Amino acid sequence: MNVLRYLVAPIAASIAFAPAAQSASDLDFKKIAPKVAQNVGELLEKAHYSRRKLDDTLSKQFLKNYLERLDYNHLFFTQKDVDGFNASYATTLDDAILAGDVDAALKIFAVYKERAEARVAKVKELLKGTFDFKSARSVELNRQKSPWPKDEAEADQIWRDRIEGEMLDRTLSKDKVDAPLKVITRRYDQFLRNLKEQEEEEIIAGFLSVLSETYDPHSEYMSRSQLDSFNITMSLELKGIGAVLTTEDGYAKIRELVPGGPAAEDGRLKVGDRICAVAQGDGEFLETLDTKLDRVVEMIRGKEDTIVRLKIIPVTATDPSERKVIEITRKKVQLKEQEAKAEIVEHQLPDGTKQRLGWIILPSFYADMQHSGTTGAKSTTKDVSVLLEKLKKENIQGLVMDLRRNGGGSLEEAVNLTGLFIKKGPVVVVRDSNGRENILKDRDPSIAYEGPMIVLCNKLSASASEIFAAALQDYNRAVVVGDSSSFGKGTVQTMVDLGNIIPLSLSGRGNGNEAGALKLTIQKFYRISGGSTQLQGVVSDVKLPSLWDQTDIGESALKGPMPYDTIKDVSYDKLEKSLFKPELKQRSTARIATEQEFKWIAEDIERMKKRIAENKISLNQETRRAELDEDKARKEKRTAERAKLKHEAEQVFVVTLDNASKAELEPKKEKKVEKKDAAHKDPATPKPDDADADAEEEEVEAETPKVDPIRAETLHILGDLIEMSHTSVPATAQAKQDEPAAR
């Protein structure tokens, strides 16, 4: 097995660019698909941590998972369809995969496509009717756990309610009279367009990915295009023009321009412009209307210092026939928004003195794994070191490492970053399926920062974040603050390059990419104190109320997670100093009880729990309007009350990798955030396992106030820690209360 690199992978590797796809001239995937499938099956059997056999039992679960991946909300297949699939494939998929037979993937997808096309045709007929919105009926919001419709008649009723609900949503959104019909029709047209654009490679890749995830949620097959995107995510670099694209009415539309990228620097391409054709250098234009977004992105990306020409419909065009040609030279594009960045928060204490606190935001544990060790290779640890040097020069008195929503990344970076805050010693223990243990250590005795420190986490802090937080908690180096616990992912993956396994005669050019890669769970990691973060996560020393702190978010909410277990602890030198955790918790609890923002969060949590439990929404317009009026009144009341609240005066300076070397500090400017229109989300499009979290994130962001109460309270806790650190409390008395203890 050719192991490329170890990682504790992000929950959902997301970048703001659609993945580039392979053209037919580069790769005939049909030719190698059988060998790819066979190798994926064999690797899962022989190399996955569980060593679970690919047998009939797993085959049944695999089929169930694949059907639910296609039809997430149980809307298109009927129970009759499912029974037919079970009869044909439930106990044969295991043998088929090991024989290199992927016909089942294509046949099942063909039925799904047929059902979807028939259903959309019925939807359009429903949209021709009228709705009075006076019924006492309701529509189920999430059907993931509901049974498949027993027959077509039951499916028709489910869809009648669903479409009536969508029409009511649009009617209540104050659109023009004819807008609801147009918006919903366009949505389902786009859904069908996306479905028709699915090619064999993507279908088979999805099928093999579901097989991998049946072993555990974090194993995954990656096609060449997905592997390219993963590398971009980890290295924070691509070669192109720096434009984020989306799809609208068959056009690739500019959703965002990356600051500092070629398109942004050129200035002619605007957000909202639609691309209708692309040309390479002086070559002919190729029309892109109704072309899959992946293909358009592939055409726009290319080698550094080459030219791409875009024919666009300007966002400002009043005449739909207007066209404009823009020529842009491709460059390396750094994904700056996903780099580590810092803030210096300065506020005045009651005695009149100014206190400076450092705040480092780390979105992921990124690393340029393809060029690891070379000069200029991207590294989380290197970037954070630069920020720390600047913060220390500015005389910060305490530091917060903000790992909220940090889904993980490089295992090596997690170990190295921990080393910036401890002298040296073990950081994490990794264990393979044979019980062999490997202690990963920080061997550098130097410390980049020794002052008071907090690690801020939430339920979306996972993998590498949990290694970092757990180690600093075990060493008694930092106080962990945030949700009741972190995500709970305690497994290690490696990338296996399938191109190096499949014979050169089959894989074409033999550069190792054509066949894709298998992200495979091969180890579990454990805290140096002996416990695992698997399922349980890292428990906060000081818990703060949060909308993220829900039971349906985290490792335990995923399908088929690995179990929790423990190992014997290892020897390490725990810092013999007090972190005053009981006192910090007591002070924080007292503040939270009187803080209005946290009272509102508590109300929102209860309302969210009720909505999830009810899982339905009324189809009666008067009832819905009353609910909307109530929501509006509540928000307006909060806005008015929030305006009256007094917040501590503070000055915030931004420290980035670009300005860290400058003498003067850059004041922070508040960004204007546009509220997302949840009504435009496609309810019928199949979603992956993390889609619920994404949907909840949009809802949570819409409710998030300008004042971040979690941030404000964390700064208060850091201030308390700084104050208490100057008092002389015997370390031995506190050590009895600070866990876990070291041996």
The radius of gyration of the chain from alpha carbons, rounded to an integer in Å, stands at 27
SS3 692: helix
Instruction: Indicate the range of 163-172, 206-215, 304-313, 730-739 predicted with least confidence.
Output: 730-739
Rounding to the nearest 10 degrees, give the CA dihedral for residues 544, 545, 547, 552: 80
Kind and range of the H or E run holding 393: helix 380-393
The reply to whether 86 and 205 lie within a common domain is yes
For residues 701 and 484, the model is more confident at: 484
Dist CA 533 CA 655 (whole Å): 32
Residue 96 belongs to some domain of the structure: yes
Start-to-end C-alpha separation, the chain? 37
- Global pTM reads 0.81
The reply to whether 348 and 423 lie within a common domain is yes
Per-residue pLDDT, 696:
39
Closest CA to 429 of 447, 455, 411: 411
pLDDT band at 424 (very low <50, low <70, confident <90, very high): very high
Contact (Cβ atoms closer than 8 angstroms) between residue 411 and residue 440: yes
Beta-strand pair 616-618/138-140: antiparallel
Dist CA 381 CA 367 (whole Å): 9
Task: Give a three-class secondary structure readout of 285-304.
Answer: CEECCCCCHHHHHHHHCCCC
pLDDT band at 677 (very low <50, low <70, confident <90, very high): very low
Per-residue pLDDT, 513:
61
> Cα 645 from chain centroid?
34
Per-residue pLDDT, 174:
63
Residue 252 belongs to some domain of the structure: yes
pLDDT band at 265 (very low <50, low <70, confident <90, very high): confident
The reply to whether 224 and 241 lie within a common domain is no
The reply to whether 305 and 383 lie within a common domain is no
Dist CA 238 CA 260 (whole Å): 13
Count of the separate structural domains present in the chain: 3
23, pLDDT greater than 90:
no
Dist CA 227 CA 7 (whole Å): 14
Per-residue pLDDT, 370:
67
The reply to whether 412 and 299 lie within a common domain is no
Dist CA 150 CA 79 (whole Å): 5
Q: What is the pLDDT of residues 221-263, one digit of tens each?
A: 998 877 877 777 766 667 789 888 887 777 899 988 877 788 9
Residue 153 belongs to some domain of the structure: yes
Give me the catalytic one of 219, 235, 463, 618.
463
Residue 97 belongs to some domain of the structure: yes
pLDDT band at 291 (very low <50, low <70, confident <90, very high): confident
With a CB cutoff of 8 Å and minimum separation 6, the contacts of 199 are none
Helix and strand totals (H; E) in the chain: 21, 25
Dist CA 329 CA 459 (whole Å): 41
Per-residue pLDDT, 14:
28
50 is annotated as an active-site residue: no
The reply to whether 244 and 321 lie within a common domain is yes
Q: Where on the phi/psi map is residue 549: left (φ > 0), alpha (ψ -120 to 50), or beta?
A: beta
The reply to whether 448 and 569 lie within a common domain is yes
489 is annotated as an active-site residue: yes
Give me the catalytic one of 474, 483, 541, 738.
474
**CATH code for the domain in which residue 321 is found:** 2.30.42.10
Closest CA to 385 of 409, 354, 413, 352: 413
Residue 624 belongs to some domain of the structure: no
**CATH code for the domain in which residue 417 is found:** 3.90.226.10
Cα angle, residue 389 at apex, residues 386 and 394 outer, rounded to 5°: 130
Residue 625 belongs to some domain of the structure: no
| Bond from prior residue into 314 cis (ω within 30 degrees of 0) | no
The reply to whether 308 and 445 lie within a common domain is no
Tell me which of 211, 229, 247 is where a domain ends. Answer: 229
Instruction: Indicate the range of 217-231, 528-542, 726-740 predicted with least confidence.
Output: 726-740
Tell me which of 286, 309, 334 is where a domain ends. Answer: 334
Contact (Cβ atoms closer than 8 angstroms) between residue 36 and residue 498: yes
219, pLDDT greater than 60:
yes
Per-residue pLDDT, 26:
39
Q: What is the DSSP code (8-state) at residue 549?
A: -
Cα-based distances in Å from 519 to 33, 47, 160: 17, 11, 41
The reply to whether 317 and 384 lie within a common domain is no
13, pLDDT greater than 60:
no
Per-residue pLDDT, 218:
95
Instruction: Indicate the range of 53-67, 433-447, 486-500, 666-680 predicted with least confidence.
Output: 666-680
Task: Give a three-class secondary structure readout of 308-372.
Answer: EEEEEECCCCCCCCCCEEEEEECEEEECHHHCCEEEEEEEECCCCCEEEEEEEECCCECECHHHC
Q: 632-655: buried (b, 16+ CB within 10 Å) or exposed (e) per residue? A: eeeeeebeeeeeeeeeeeeebbeb
The reply to whether 289 and 273 lie within a common domain is yes
Q: Which residue range forms the structural domain that includes residue 530?
A: 338-491+526-592+648-670+706-735
Dist CA 533 CA 430 (whole Å): 12
Dist CA 506 CA 29 (whole Å): 10
Closest CA to 541 of 385, 344, 720: 720
Dist CA 384 CA 361 (whole Å): 9
Per-residue pLDDT, 232:
73
The reply to whether 119 and 223 lie within a common domain is yes
* E strand intervals along 582-641: 616-618
Tell me which of 301, 334, 367 is where a domain ends. Answer: 334
Dist CA 622 CA 625 (whole Å): 5
Closest CA to 187 of 123, 256, 139, 128: 123
Q: How is the chain split among helix, strand and coil, in percent rounded to 5?
A: 40, 20, 40
> Cα 369 from chain centroid?
20
The reply to whether 410 and 321 lie within a common domain is no
Give me the catalytic one of 253, 489, 519, 574.
489
With a CB cutoff of 8 Å and minimum separation 6, the contacts of 241 are 261, 262, 263, 269, 300, 308, 328, 330, 331, 333
Mean of the per-residue pLDDT values of the chain: 85
- DSSP lists the bridge partners of residue 356 as 346
